Amino acid sequence: MPLTDTALRNAKPGAKPRKLADGGGLYLLIQPAGGRWWRLDYRFDGKRKTLSMGTYPDTPLTTARQGRDDARRLLAQGIDPGEHRKLTRNKAPQDADSFEAVAREWHAKFAPTWTDAHGARIITRLELNVFPWLGARPVGQITAPELLAVLRRIEARGRLETAHRAHQNCGAVFRYAVATGRAERDPSGDLRGALPPATKRHHAAIVEPKAIAELLRALDGYTGGLATACALKLAPLVFVRPGELRRAEWAEIDLDAAEWRIPAAKMKMREAHVVPLSGQALAILRELHPLTGQGRYVFPGALSADRPMSENTVNAALRRLGYEKETMTGHGFRSMASTILHEQGWPSDIIERQLAHAERNKIKGAYNRAQHLPERRKMMQAWADYLDALRIGGNVVPLRAGA
C-alpha cells in the first residue's frame, strides 16, 4: 500500500536497514542509526539502478513522489534519470554566446507555443546529447564537422531517429543565433544527407474488423479499476491522442451538449479541438461521473486525484489483456479509426479534422476550424455504432458519409 505521513513519522529503526515501499520503485530506506533516505529503484537498458531522492523529513512524501513521477517520465522517453541528473546538476553559468545559452534562450522563447511534453523532450534531448560536447562552444564558431561528430555519437548508440531530431533542433538554434546576430550561418544545413534516413515508425494498431471485434470484447472484459476500464472503452470512440485522453477534465465536457472541448494548451498543434460525443461515449462518461465527477480529472491518477492518470496506464492495461506493444498501443486507436473511416468513404477533410491533424495550408486551416462539426457528429455516431456491431458480431453495414 502507498505510504502515509503518519506511517513515516511512526516508523522506527531496526537492527537491520528497513525499506518502506510507496510504489513505482520509490521507498524510504531506514538505517539502524536512524538515517532515513528516499531511494528510487528502476531499470535502464536492462540494468537495475538506484537514484537518491533526498532525506526524510527534509524531503516530504509529496516531493519524493514528484521526483519519482519526473524520473518515470524521463524513462518513458528513453532517458536515464541518473545520467540526466549528472548533466543538469551544478552547471556553471554559460557565456551569452555559447551554444547552450543560445539554445536555452531559443527554447524559452518558443516553448509557450508547444505542449509541455514536447518542450520537455526537446530540452532534454539537447541536455543529454548535445550540450556536453558543444554547449560551451561559441555558437558562431561551431562547424558542420563538429556537429556531425555529435550526431554520429547518437547514431552509434542505435538512436538514429534521435540523431535526426537533434539535427533539426540544432538547426533551429543556429538559425535563431543568426537572427539574433550571434552567428553568420547555420552549419546544420551542410549535413543534409550525412545521416542515413530513419525508418518511419508507425504506432502499432489493429485495423482488421475481426481483430477489432476481439479487441473490443477484450476491453469490455477488463477487470481492473473503473477509471482505467472506462478509459479503455472510451479510447476507440473518441480516438484522441493518449495524452489528451488521460488529461481530460470534467470542466471540458458538456454531457448535455454531447461535446468535449479540449483547450488549445493541451493540443499538440496548440489549437482548441471539439470532440463530438456519441451516445456510447456519453454512457461511459455518465457511468464514471459518480466516481470521479467531483474532482478535476475524468481519469485521475491512482495515487492522487489532483493529478491525471499515468501516461503508461492504458498501454499497461492493454498488455494485461494480452496485447503486446507490437500489436496495439493507446495511440493505435487513432490509426484504427483513420484506416477504417477512410475505407468506408468518409471525406478525408472530416477525418483529418477530427484527428486534429495540422492543416498545411494555414488559410484553409483557419477556415476549416469552424467547419465540418455537423458532419463530424454524424461520423462519430456512425463510428460508435459500427464498433458496437463489430463487438456483437452481427452483419456489419457501416453508415457511410452520403447515407
> Would you name the residues annotated as active-site residues?
241, 268, 331, 334, 357, 367
Show contacts of 319-327: CB within 8 Å, 24+ apart: 320/222, 320/224, 321/218, 321/219, 321/221, 321/222, 322/218, 323/215, 323/218, 325/204, 326/204, 327/204, 327/206
Q: Indicate left, alpha or beta for 305 from its phi (over 0: left) and psi (-120 to 50: alpha).
A: alpha
Query: Residue 300 and residue 306: Cα distance in Å, rounded?
Result: 7
Which set of grid coordinates corresponds to residue 346?
Answer: 468518409
Q: Residue 36 pairs with which residues in a beta bridge? A: 30
Q: Which amino acid is at 176?
A: Y
- C-alpha distances out from residue 43 to 37, 159, 204, 367, Å: 20, 19, 24, 48
Burial class for 48, CB neighbours closer than 10 Å (0-12, 13-18, 19+): exposed
Query: Residue 241 and residue 235: Cα distance in Å, rounded?
Result: 9
H or E, element range at 26 = strand 26-30
**Sign of torsion over alpha carbons 3, 49, 132, 165:** negative
**Sign of torsion over alpha carbons 180, 184, 186, 187:** negative
Strands 18-23 and 259-262: unpaired
Query: Residue 65 and residue 59: Cα distance in Å, rounded?
Result: 10
What single DSSP character describes residue 114? S
Buried b (16+ CB within 10 A) or exposed e, 51-62: bebeebeebebe
Q: Which amino acid is at 193?
A: G
